[in-house]
Chain A
Amino acid sequence: MGFFFKKGNKQPKLKEQYSEETDTAPAKSKDEKESSYYNSETNLHFSIRYISTIVDQDIIQKNILPYLLDKQFASIADVKKILPIEDVQIETNEALIEEKLFNGYLVLKVHTDKQHVAFIAAKEVIVRSLSMPEVETSVIGPKEAFIEAIDQNINLLRIRLPVKELMIEEFTIGSVSKTRTALMYIDDIANMENVNTMRQRLQAIDFDQINDSSYIEQLTADNKNSPFPQFLDTERPDRAAGVLVEGKVVVLVDGSPHALIGPTNLVEFFSSPEDYLFNWITASILRLIRLFAVVFSILITPMYVAVLTYHYELIPKDLTATLITSRQVIPFPPILEALILELTIELLREAGARLPTKIGQTIGIVGGIVIGTASVEAGLTSNVLLILVALAALASFITPVYKMGNAIRFLRFPFLLFAQLLGLLGIVFCLLIVITHLLRLTSLGRPYLEPIYPPRWRDLKDSFIRLSFDKQIRRPSYVQAQKEIRFNPKHQKRRHDIEE
């Protein structure tokens, strides 16, 4: 480390200049380094300043200092010529120093030229390697997921969409975190209105820290008081690339392995990337099963409570015996019984999510079996309800998007409450409130319930069901893409008559 000298040893003038600045700053961080050098060939004194923890020392020692000390380094303009580094900026604006410094740049000052400063990129990016998707797992299909580094993520998307129309706009968001955020869209497909809305919302964010794309999601949501997520988030580059081609807008945030997608709609949250990998019949059936599961998981426990509390007439006579005998020893009314069991399931789920994977699994199984059977044996809950709650929990896991799954998880509690108050009528009351809420909701200004309402026959082909690719001639209409047609159906094979 012979190159390093104590700060300001040789250049009192520079030091003065810096000390002026640093005096105004409250304190200097330990990792902020500054040192001065002398190029003997051109007789030039210069100093460099950097943050040691975010620059790559290797670059400084191999690619910067040797050149600066040995090459023809006469003025600051030479830096660009002599250094083998691409990102070298020569600026006159001193205000930039701070920002660049903390973004991994080397700040170079030449003793003779006080006006110009050179910023040399020497950032050390610690990148973890690509891994398998953990939230949106799939049996078949691509196995790569986004990681925390934004450049890497953009790279993943670029590889999938190697066209010049793929546009990237970058923003720095967060007054403290200075998070790099990229807005991506395909220029001649995406509707500019969507892009503009997203851009405006990103620019309007005034928050100190952006830790993850979820921050952006919440800060730019159309309705911030809704339990429903209004942007689809994905960790799969294939899904992100897919929606870009549909004409949607993707937001990547540095430090977050999840991309945001907008505009989206309710039904899209129940589509899994695998739906596009199976043939359309399988995929459609899977989607229908998923939607049924969601309705089932929200409504089954409230229905149980409503029917057992108010509408005994509805129960078929053969079922009455089963229900009554299973509840005979239970001291609680159905609502309490249901709440106890639902809360237990929620606790298990939370515990499972907080604990390390292996223990989490064990907790799930042990909790499910032990607590379930024990509470039935102890006469706290009926076994019929236990089955229903367990089925409902299972069904709620089916939602492919985690955030939507959570929203649905908690949706059943108001339903339960109203079922207790007014029976089936209460359930419908709650249902109407949810429907109204969903009708009010928009995603990037586009109706959230589309294609159900406003009804778009055309968009049904990729909603509850997914028709084959040769039927997907147009992009979804709620995106209002510039280019609506995906491909020219004329090139498709004509249908022939029965072979003779």
Chain B
Amino acid sequence: MQPIKVQRKIEPFIVFFVIASTQLGVGMLGFQRIVAASAGYDAWISVVIAGIATNTVMFLIYKMLKEEADLVSIHQQVFGKWLGGMFNLLFVVYFGYALLTVARSYIEVVQVWMFPDLNVFWFTLFFFILVFYVVNSGFRVISGLSFFSIVLPLYLILVFLFILPYTDFRNFLPIYDHSIKEILQATKDLTVITLGYETILVFYPFIKNGQKSEKWAHFGLLFTTFIYLYITFLTFAYFSEEQLKETIWPTLSMLKIVQFPFIERFEYISIVNWYIIIIPNVCIYLWCASRLLKRTVNIQQRKSVVGLLFILLFLIPQLETRYQVDVLNDYIQKIGFAVNYLYIPLLFVLLLIVKKVKNKR
């Protein structure tokens, strides 16, 4: 691997924004229904547990990255060149799939909430031109966009307060009315929304003083946990349990009640805002996939970006119904859970063993 120029690197504290922006995405619009399905109004506990879980995995990731530069070299250490390469390619597929899910889910939101007659192909093309422009500018610009995607929509936190007159926080009572199993099930379901931070395995070499960024990565995770918790609290206080089960995008439905003297329907503004939120999300996945391809099979990153975008451009319009999007989300949930909470800890243990063995020699 060639050393990366200092100008291309980002400062440690930017990791906060990058990590947070990978986690905040289109999942935030509809996670409440999924978690409430199994844990009811106790699902907020699941959010806290999921927060702890992500932080644990992040801790493991940083321990690994202390030893090795990035995912590719970890794989190489653990599995050797060929098998490691195979695993890299699997990760490329995983990132590509995540990218597909995020993009398609957002386009679905636009379809349902804004333009029912949207031409998916053309909109995707629009979308991808922007994505290409961003990814083409390199990681520094992507991280910059992550920063904006956190800072610009931050005002929404305050906007959510306008629903307070319609909330009843006694809905949470009695606390802990569900079994541990149900809560853990909800935690597992939550992984779909907390995905994304594992990308640090790929972009880690682009951080100045990598290890110094650890606390910022954890802060990023805490920040998203806080945001999710905040929205969960408000949602559960706002909806009745039955109502929530039928609402696909509770976050947006909630914003429907917000009204200002100059804007009557705030959810439109928030959908548009979500565009800013998901762009870095999509870009990071794409960048990571192409970076892995470059590191594994040595394809020029620009070419693989264009290639991936073209594949997705023709895949996305094929997925037409709500059901298909749901299936897409179901799979990413399962795969993401496996990658983050099974594979990464396993990799950590394997790396530990490999290092021990090599040291003994």
Contact = CB atoms under 8 A, between A and B. Distances in A.
Direct contact between A and B in the complex (CB less than 8 angstroms)? yes
Interface in B112-165: 114-115, 123, 126, 130, 133-134, 137, 140-141, 144-145, 147-148
B133 A428 contact: no
A263 to B, nearest CB: 14
A359 interface: no
A449 interface: yes
B172 interface: no
B268 interface: yes
B272 A436 contact: no
With a 10 A CB-CB cut-off, give which of B145, B264, B269, B273 has the most chain A CB atoms.
B264
A141 interface: no
B114 A449 contact: no
Interface in B250-269: 261-265, 268-269
B145 A439 contact: yes
Given A432-B130, A439-B137, A424 B268 contact: yes
A439 B141 contact: yes
A378 interface: no
Given A316-B263, A425-B114, A433-B133, A449 B144 contact: yes
Contact of B11 (A316, A425, A428, A454): A454
Given A432-B279, A435-B145, A454-B11, A313 B268 contact: yes
A374 interface: no
B126 A422 contact: yes
Nearest to A438: B144
A440 B272 contact: no
A257 interface: no
B153 to A, nearest CB: 11
Interface in A406-432: 422-425, 427-429, 431-432
B110 interface: yes
Contacts of B35: none
B276 interface: yes
A420 B147 CA distance: 28
Contacts of B110: 425
Interface of A is mostly: helix
Contacts of A422: 115, 123, 126
B239 interface: no
A315 B264 contact: yes
Contacts of A455: 147
B275 interface: yes
A224 interface: no
Contacts of A433: 130, 133
Given A429-B126, A436-B141, A440-B137, A316 B262 contact: yes
Contacts of A432: 130, 134, 145, 275-276, 279
Contacts, number: 75
A314 interface: yes
Nearest to A449: B144
A453 interface: yes
Contacts of A313: 264-265, 268
A311 B275 contact: no
A445 B140 CA distance: 14
Contacts of A454: 10-11, 14, 144
Contacts of A439: 137, 140-141, 144-145
Given A424-B268, A432-B276, A439-B145, A316 B261 contact: yes
A471 interface: no
B275 A317 contact: no
A454 B262 CA distance: 33
Contacts of B268: 311, 313-314, 424
B144 A453 contact: yes
A436 B11 contact: no
Interface in B1-33: 7, 10-11, 14
A424 B115 CA distance: 11
Contacts of B265: 313-314
B148 A453 contact: yes
Interface string A182-207: 00000000000000000000000000
A97 B273 CA distance: 67
A455 B263 CA distance: 31
Nearest to B13: A455
A179 B126 CA distance: 46
Contacts of A319: 262
Interface of A: 310-311, 313-317, 319, 422-425, 427-429, 431-433, 435-436, 439-440, 445, 449, 453-455
Given A316-B261, A317-B264, A436-B144, 5 more contacts: A424-B268, A431-B276, A439-B141, A439-B145, A454-B144
15 contacts: A310-B115, A314-B265, A316-B261, A316-B264, A319-B262, A423-B114, A424-B268, A429-B130, A432-B279, A436-B130, A436-B137, A436-B145, A439-B140, A454-B10, A454-B11
Q: Which 10 A-B pairs have the closest CB atoms?
A: A439-B144, A424-B272, A439-B141, A453-B144, A316-B264, A428-B275, A440-B137, A313-B265, A428-B272, A436-B134
